[in-house]
Amino acid sequence: GAVVSQHPSWVICKSGTSVKIECRSLDFQATTMFWYRQFPKQSLMLMATSNEGSKATYEQGVEKDKFLINHASLTLSTLTVTSAHPEDSSFYICSARGDQGSYEQYFGPGTRLTVT
Amino acid sequence: AQSVTQLDSQVPVFEEAPVELRCNYSSSVSVYLFWYVQYPNQGLQLLLKYLSGSTLVESINGFEAEFNKSQTSFHLRKPSVHISDTAEYFCAVSEAGYSSASKIIFGSGTRLSIRP
């Protein structure tokens, strides 16, 4: 089956610093990748949708200058949390969708970000 | 736009008892419906999906869900649960068909806890 990985799985950073999270599709080409945020005991909230080679589309209320998304290749998307603050602490999950005409998304295992 | 409502945030049941996790959706267009499962400390996994055709869909581990268009529901059922079914279950919806803008909207999740 299609596999999506995320790195790192867990990161701790100091307030004011930036942190980058990688999302890779290991055995398929992901034309579209999605980034979600999940608070403890809550659902996944879609943050943004990115198509390879174009700018990400952010959901309402998500600061695009704070959450920088790059989808430079068909197998890699990155989410950079800039000037992180404790309220940015959360579980970040990516998903990837392959070929045109495919509805299914494959989810990564998630990255837990803790900002101190 | 689509939305999903999972009325039960937690469902405790005894092992080998039947269970139903409720899900209702709202949409002005045709939809695809999904159930995802998140086991403790793991990523999301697709449990089953409804795209078209038979309204009753089944998973390999004994779960089933029935699409009811008139009631806009997609409840998840299992006749006899096991300890290993302990997890968070998310109902999700997306617009039917494919477009680069298609996205999955998740419900708030239901925590299924199995008691021995």
Mean pLDDT per 10-residue section of chain B, whose length is 116 residues: 91 97 94 92 87 90 95 97 95 80 86 94
Mutate to test the interface with A, among B21, B29, B103 (most CBs of A within 10 A): B103
Please report which confidence band the pLDDT of residue A43 belongs to, taking 50, 70 and 90 as the band edges: confident
Distances, alpha carbon A107 to alpha carbons A27, A83, B62, in Å: 13, 26, 22
> Which pLDDT value is given to residue A75?
93
pLDDT single digits (tens) A19-38: 999 999 998 888 889 999 98
State the nearest Cα–Cα gap between A43 and chain B, in angstroms: 5
Please report which confidence band the pLDDT of residue A51 belongs to, taking 50, 70 and 90 as the band edges: confident
**What chain A residue is nearest to B36 in terms of C-alpha separation?**
A107
- Tokens for A89? 């602490």
As a whole number of Å, the end-to-end CA separation of chain A is 37
> Which pLDDT value is given to residue A104?
78
Task: Tell me the average pLDDT across A74-92.
Answer: 95
The Cα–Cα gap between B94 and B3 comes to 9
Q: Residue A82, Cα to own-chain centre: how many angstroms?
A: 14
Cβ atoms of B60 and B35 closer than 8 Å: no
Tell me: pLDDT of A102 over 80.
no
For residue A47, with 0-12 CB atoms within 10 Å meaning exposed, 13-18 middle and 19 or more buried, which class applies? Answer: buried
> Which pLDDT value is given to residue B74?
97
Q: Residue A112, Cα to own-chain centre: how many angstroms?
A: 11
Tell me: pLDDT of A92 over 90.
yes
Smallest Cβ distance to A103: which of B36, B98, B111? B98
Mean pLDDT of all residues belonging to chain A: 91
Judge: B109–A42 Cβ closer than 8 Å, yes or no: yes
Tell me: pLDDT of A100 over 70.
no
